[in-house]
Amino acid sequence: MIKSWMALKMDVHLENSPLSRKLGVFVALSQSEVTVLNGLHQRRRTFVAGRDLVDQGQSDQAAYILCSGWACSYKLLSDGQRQVVDFQIPGDFLGLRSVLLRVSDHSIVPVTDIEVTEVHAADLLDAFAKTPRLAAAVLWAASRDEAIVVEHLVGVGRRDAGERLAHFLLELGTRLTLVGMGSKAGYACPLSQYMLADAVGLSAVHVNRVLRQLREKGLLTFRDGHVTFDNYAKLIEFAQFDRSYLDEIGPLLK
């Protein structure tokens, strides 16, 4: 059986990559802009699940655009604890920050086998010079990434386990929907409960229990690599989810 979160792997048309799809939701990209964008998708590479791509403390000038599969950026503490900062899905950048800060402050590991395209700092600057609107769009994407981390911080700091998990899974669903990999019904999700635990700052045991509660409340089901929203409206209400930070676009791009 082909895992559906890999479906795009067989079917990436450059004209409609997840990145241009994501950006295209907000900016009507002109033909030339799409061309420049596609020009970034040159050096194609693949990585296998589980083997780190970037290591904390490593110097590396390259960033990547994720084309298919899921990745995970995390930080390791010296006592072995792990905090997942964010998961990346197709259309997201990997390690953009490592290009700016000399030392990567986090590690990145593919959750599934992934396909990426390598982007050097120079390529990006070139592209920006050609189409300023694209520069603004990428800057917007980076700001959105920061907003996601901020929302994540709020969840971990101030929401209880149930709300936190629900909010997190809703956010992923919204992001996936924007690139055509999810809907209000649910989405394919390759995360283990352990990874989920490291993301929301709980123990895996507790994640398991809370998922059961969410299921029993008829809100969502997390099973066999699939998230099902059993009652989308009630879930949004329960998690106090406000999606505006994910798809609002600023004045620079209007």
Partner DNA sequence: CTTAAGGGCTGATCTGCATCAGCCCGGCGC
Partner DNA sequence: GCGCCGGGCTGATGCAGATCAGCCCTTAAG
Nearest CA-CA partner of 53 in 112, 10, 9, 8: 112
Rule CB under 7 A: is residue 202 a binding residue for DNA?
A: yes
Residues 156-195 that bind DNA (CB under 7 A): 160-162, 192-194
| 109/76 Cα distance (integer angstroms) | 12
Cα four-point dihedral sign 97, 40, 21, 14: negative
| 137/253 Cα distance (integer angstroms) | 7
Nearer to DNA, 137 or 227 (CB): 227
Q: How near is the Cβ of 193 to DNA at its closest, in Å?
A: 3
Q: How near is the Cβ of 188 to a copy of itself at its closest, in Å?
A: 26
Among 205, 218, 240, 252, binds DNA (CB under 7 A): 205
Residue type, 112: T
Nearer to DNA, 49 or 139 (CB): 49
Q: Which helix (H) or strand (E) holds 138?
A: helix 132-158
Nearer to a copy of itself, 21 or 120 (CB): 120
What phi, psi does 201 have (nearest 5°)? Answer: 75, 35
Please report, as ranges, the residues that interact with a copy of itself according to CB under 8 A. Answer: 59, 61, 75, 77-78, 81-83, 85, 97, 99-103, 105-106, 121, 139-140, 142-147, 149-154, 156-159, 200-201, 240, 244-245, 248-252
Residue 203 binding partner per list DNA, a copy of itself, none, with a CB distance cut-off of 5 to 8 Å that depends on partner kind: DNA
| 138/216 Cα distance (integer angstroms) | 41
